[in-house]
């Protein structure tokens, strides 16, 4: 009995103690709760920068080579869209200040002045060998980072002041740079399969830092956001007449064909086209008035696919569908999305939407310094 009574007392005491601890003024002195432990957020993932834009011969144009390094875009971890755009804008201002290009059409005026004081021949083959007053050569070869589809292969292009592109394709007078060949539309549209690569092309040294900024910006967006990867298969700057070689053998490549040449309907049929050589897809001849002859223009993803109705990719289009940039980019990633045109405008380029014609508006992926 005594044992049982003790146990009961014990229970009672425990119960009372337990209850008293529920009362605000408690059974023991209150100890302030320790502060919550500081949990360090894991550091943001480091970002792998692309290959930095550079000249193939930096020693020949040290001032431009140094400026290119100064305007390299940043690749900070977890950089937001706003931070990336601020960095882009700051580097554009820096480059334009350094080059004395408040308006980039001054690039054309200064080029024509130099040509007129040196013989007056409007040809890239001639002009590229001239020098600016500070000794910088006019013609430089620029290397920039690009995304390409997994199966893309580099293709050498050739250039000359020739009457026809066929002549260049057959005689291969001088190496110009390169383009990439990708045949399969699934591969072209598979952004997660893209790999970083380098694009090589000739350009006016006065233009090089601005072209580098636009192209590095396009590349960098795809680093931070894989959905924004744009496969750049063609980038060309200064040239008169150019072509890939005619002796590549026949090639097959996917394209899209539409119901008409002018409408906005995006319903397309995929077709696999066969061409006698890569020269049939990659060629062109610029007229004397073209800013390409001054190295003051850029063609980005410009191809010559014959046999397609308003097809992708198309050299020149009169259709409304091409102004549906994002819709066309979704169908075939070789078409440039709207944000690329917005970025080009920020650099100061004249973009296709700025061109108006008396009778209609034509569209092709060409960006330049304008004429007036």
Check if the beta carbon of residue 249 is closer than 8 Å to that of residue 274: no
| For Zn ion, the closer CB: 79 or 214 | 214
320 vs 310, 335, 357, CA distance in Å?
10, 14, 14
| For Zn ion, the closer CB: 235 or 333 | 235
The site map against Zn ion for 277-306 (x = CB under 5 A) is --------------------x-x-------
Q: The dihedral of CA 238, 242, 248, 250: what is its sign?
A: positive
Binding to Zn ion in span 340-359, by CB under 5 A: none
**Binding residue count for Zn ion, defined by CB under 5 A:** 3
Instruction: Say which DSSP state 137 is in.
Output: B
Binding to Zn ion in span 13-72, by CB under 5 A: none
Does 125 engage in binding with Zn ion (CB under 5 A)? no
Check if the beta carbon of residue 321 is closer than 8 Å to that of residue 327: yes
| For Zn ion, the closer CB: 139 or 222 | 139
* Closest distance of CB 137 from Zn ion, Å: 22
Among 54, 96, 110, 366, binds Zn ion (CB under 5 A): 366
For residue 295, the number of C-alpha atoms closer than 13 Å in the C-beta half-sphere is 29
| For Zn ion, the closer CB: 79 or 179 | 179
User: Cα 336 from chain centroid?
Assistant: 9
Residue nearest to Zn ion (CB): 366
Tokens coding 160: 């000359």
CA distance 28 to 311: 84
Binding to Zn ion in span 134-193, by CB under 5 A: none
* Closest distance of CB 292 from Zn ion, Å: 6
CA dihedral 246, 336, 153, 213 (to 10 degrees): 110
Tokens coding 214: 């636009």
The site map against Zn ion for 299-338 (x = CB under 5 A) is x---------------------------------------
Return residues touching Zn ion (CB under 5 A): 297, 299, 366
């Amino acid at each position: 009995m005594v044992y049982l009574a003790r146990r009961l007392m014990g229970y009672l005491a425990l119960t009372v103690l337990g209850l008293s601890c529920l009362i605000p003024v408690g059974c023991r002195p209150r100890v302030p709760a320790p502060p919550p432990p500081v949990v360090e957020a894991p550091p943001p993932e480091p970002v792998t920068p692309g290959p930095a834009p550079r000249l193939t011969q930096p020693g020949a144009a040290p001032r431009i080579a140094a400026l290119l390094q100064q305007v390299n875009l940043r690749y900070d971890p977890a950089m937001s869209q706003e931070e990336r755009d601020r960095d882009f804008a700051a580097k554009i201002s820096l480059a334009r200040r350094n080059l004395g290009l408040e308006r980039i059409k001054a690039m054309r005026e200064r080029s024509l002045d130099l040509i007129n004081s040196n013989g007056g021949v409007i040809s890239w083959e001639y002009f590229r060998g001239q020098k600016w007053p500070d000794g910088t050569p006019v013609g430089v070869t620029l290397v920039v980072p690009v995304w390409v589809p997994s199966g893309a292969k580099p293709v050498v292009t050739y250039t000359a002041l020739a009457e026809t592109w066929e002549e260049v394709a057959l005689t291969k007078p001088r190496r110009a740079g390169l383009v990439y060949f990708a045949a399969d539309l699934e591969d072209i549209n598979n952004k997660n399969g893209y790999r970083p690569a380098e694009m090589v092309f000739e350009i006016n040294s006065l233009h090089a830092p601005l072209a580098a900024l636009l192209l590095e910006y396009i590349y960098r967006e795809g680093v931070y956001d894989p959905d924004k990867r744009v496969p750049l298969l063609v980038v060309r700057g200064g040239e008169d007449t150019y072509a890939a070689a005619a002796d590549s053998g026949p090639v097959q490549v996917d394209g899209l064909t539409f119901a008409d040449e002018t409408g906005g309907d995006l319903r397309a049929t995929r077709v696999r086209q066969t061409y006698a050589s890569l020269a049939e897809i990659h060629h062109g001849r610029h007229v004397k008035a073209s800013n390409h002859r001054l190295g003051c223009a850029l063609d980005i993803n410009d191809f010559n696919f014959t046999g397609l109705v308003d097809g992708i990719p198309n050299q020149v289009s009169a259709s409304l569908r091409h102004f549906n940039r994002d819709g066309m980019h979704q169908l075939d990633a070789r078409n440039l999305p709207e944000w690329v045109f917005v970025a080009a405008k920020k650099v100061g380029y004249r973009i296709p939407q700025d061109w108006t014609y008396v009778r209609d508006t034509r569209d092709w992926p060409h960006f330049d310094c304008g004429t007036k």
